[in-house]
Amino acid sequence: MAKDPTPGSERPHLESLMADQTSSKAVLVTSALPYANGPIHLGHLVEYIQTDIWVRFQRMNGREAYYFCADDTHGTAVMLAAKKRGITPEELVGEVQKEHYRDLTAFGVRFDNYYTTNSPENKELASAIYLSAKEKGHIARRDVRQLYCENDKMFLPDRFVKGICPKCGTADQYGDSCEVCGSAYRPEDLKEPRCAVCGTAPVSKEEAHLFFKLGDFQEYLQSWMQGRVDEGVRRKMQEWMEQGLRDWDISRDGPYFGFEIPGEKNKYFYVWLDAPVGYMASALNYFRSTGRPELFDRFWKSEETEVYHFIGKDIVYFHTLFWPAMLKAGGFRPPTAVFVHGFLTINGEKMSKSRGTLIRAETYLKHLDPQALRYFYASRLGPNLDDLDLSGVDFLAKYNSAVVGNFANLFSRLCTKIADTLDRRLSAAPSAEGRELCKKLLERKDEIIAAYADRNTNKALRIIESLGDEVNRFVAAREPWKLVKSDVEGTRQVITDALNAGWILSYYLRPVLPVFADGVAELLALPAEWTGFFEDLNHNDPLYLPANHEIRPYRHLASRIADTELQAMLDAEKQAAGEVMTEKKASAEKAEKAAVQVEESGLISIDDLGKVELRAARIAEASLVEGADKLLRIGLDVGEERLRNVFAGIRVAYKPEELVGLTVVCVANLAPRKMKFGVSEAMLLATGEGESLTLFVPHRQAKPGDRLR
């Protein structure tokens, strides 16, 4: 070639088409940390593949780039999973980390370091950030009511409580945020909460907790988000800020698998505090182990470099509010930008384990080529929050037509029998027509660079596919398979011209299809990887194959995927899901049988009783209900921000003015009931009938909202 493409050789930086299209700063890139309580599935892979493509592109564009990730290991979920298996949490997270790394790298995701949050570096950094925030007055201590499971004898972390979203009313939401409306809240805010482990209604206990004063950073975050997130995310952040930023509970009481908070007893960092610190810990571990510890400060304490996070839209709140504020409090630089992608659906539906559409990476790898998934995701991804749908028909059509029919077919037609006839040797130089063909490919380079830089791989691949069509038309018009019978040297020239264009195509594809590109490099006897490829290309001086270059014997590059192979993968996952569901069904049937026996006896179980939530409540308002002889309308204070509306049939025994200020007992988790006069949201407890009816009141002093036992 005209230039030596040796990997790692010194090359000047090209203008990088990043956020401002001019930066040549070194970049540190992360993906969200997979939680160590389950396997990698195809939904996870959207993010890791997208990140890997972007990092590979940055390196090909001449930038110094590092890609760090780790397993998110702490929390009650991991602790309980380990207990169930009879091993320590440390043993469990060690096993899962190996499995996660195996599955992710099998899809061509290449990390500089894949670490763990259960590390000395993470403890060191999380503690330093906390102590710095505390010293600056950003930590508060106050007593809070926390949900506690009497059955499991433990305080329930956010993800171990499920109930109805207090904002939009969607059922079966976790205790930290709603997957439907995106609202963040405390577990205590959920309506009809239940323990996600055993299903019983938790009780409320008062404990001292530590809070990060997020509101202290509202002005800082308002400034930071400009230009750091996409417009859709910025609007959502603005919405949260207008609602007012609430203090963030960063402590959890033992037993808990995590780091103990410095200076505290039996209190641990909430997993969401130390999880993002795992980005920093992975970097620190890498730079120390490679003998360059000074690079940590270069990235995390100086803005002469750039830091980018790739995340899903379900964790935007934590990464765009808590995380920049934590870094600021700890004396570290904020992210340059946070890139957010949408969810994965399967054939238009949310992934479901019971339907067999929550497909594990391990299952996919047993049946299909991982490069096919990389290409399909890249062909659908753009710089927005749109969800990505994996349709079986589209998946097969895209890979078979673009990768196999367009790109691989080009090389298989030129490098098999025809090349063997020519002793696999090319001509001395491209022809004028060949130079014109390469020029057409190079004229689109800047568009491809801009699309890759903007994470718009959908656009990049559309351009590259059109260029592949151009090269294939060039070959088809000259029919070298016929020409070789009458003009060997003319055929050699056609092959030379087409392969000069073909290797450019393979490098355009390399961020998305590294294995395919490696195959082309081996076939054409070129270096396997070319750092700085994009900056070495230019329009006026294309980099052609060397004169009289000898290529290697043809090696298969890509195979069509049959619909039977895709179906076999889906069937395997459905079978696995069916086995799990059968086990769950047997357990449910056993529980149902026990419930029927209790019902027939006329008794209720302790679980039934546990569902009833009795609270002390203060009657703040009371009035007559026009048109009703027996009802009073009660405004009931049950310790919430608003009064609950209750219609009670106690008018014959009480006058409204007698009730105001009275502390009573109510059923607080009764489903709202629509009545003729409005919606009743609780029930008062009373005994007797008529004028002798008497409301239950707590024997000892109780505050509104106190749970009664």
The single residue listed with the structure tokens 């230039």 is 3
DSSP tag of 669: T
Cα angle: 610, vertex 614, 617; to 5 degrees: 165
- Which amino acid, residue 44? H
DSSP tag of 259: P
Give CA–CA dist 676/663, Å, rounded: 27
Task: For residue 174, give the H/E element and its range.
Answer: strand 173-174
Strand extents, DSSP E, 437-513 = none
| Ordered strands of the 388-390 beta sheet | 349-350, 344-346, 388-390
**What angle do helix axes 488-509 and 432-443 make, rounded to 10 degrees?**
10
Residue 186, token pair as written in the block: 């405390």
Is the dihedral angle over the CA atoms 302, 303, 305, 308 positive or is it negative? positive
Give CA–CA dist 512/499, Å, rounded: 20
Residue 525, token pair as written in the block: 């006897």
Sequence-distant (≥ 6) Cβ neighbours of residue 440 within 8 angstroms: 467, 470
Sequence-distant (≥ 6) Cβ neighbours of residue 557 within 8 angstroms: 407, 408, 411, 412, 516, 519, 520, 523
| Residue 611: CB atoms within 10 Å | 14
Please say whether the beta carbons of 374 and 107 come within 8 A: yes
Sequence-distant (≥ 6) Cβ neighbours of residue 243 within 8 angstroms: none
The single residue listed with the structure tokens 């290991």 is 73
Give CA–CA dist 71/497, Å, rounded: 48
| Residue 131: CB atoms within 10 Å | 15
Give CA–CA dist 560/405, Å, rounded: 8
Give CA–CA dist 58/65, Å, rounded: 7
Establish whether 198 is an annotated binding residue. Answer: no
How far does CA 296 lie from the centroid of its chain?
25
Residue 497, token pair as written in the block: 């011209």
| DSSP letter string, 604-621 | --HHHHHT--EEEEEEEE
- Which among 674, 675, 610, 664 is positioned nearest to 638, based on CA atoms? 664
Cα angle: 287, vertex 290, 294; to 5 degrees: 40
Give CA–CA dist 399/405, Å, rounded: 8
Establish whether 353 is an annotated binding residue. Answer: yes
Establish whether 168 is an annotated binding residue. Answer: yes
Give CA–CA dist 666/686, Å, rounded: 9
- Which amino acid, residue 585? K
Give CA–CA dist 561/66, Å, rounded: 34
Strand extents, DSSP E, 290-432 = 306-312, 337-341, 344-346, 349-350, 388-390
Residue ranges of the binding site for ATP: 353
Residue ranges of the binding site for Zn(2+): 165, 168, 178, 181
Residue ranges of the binding site: 165, 168, 178, 181, 353
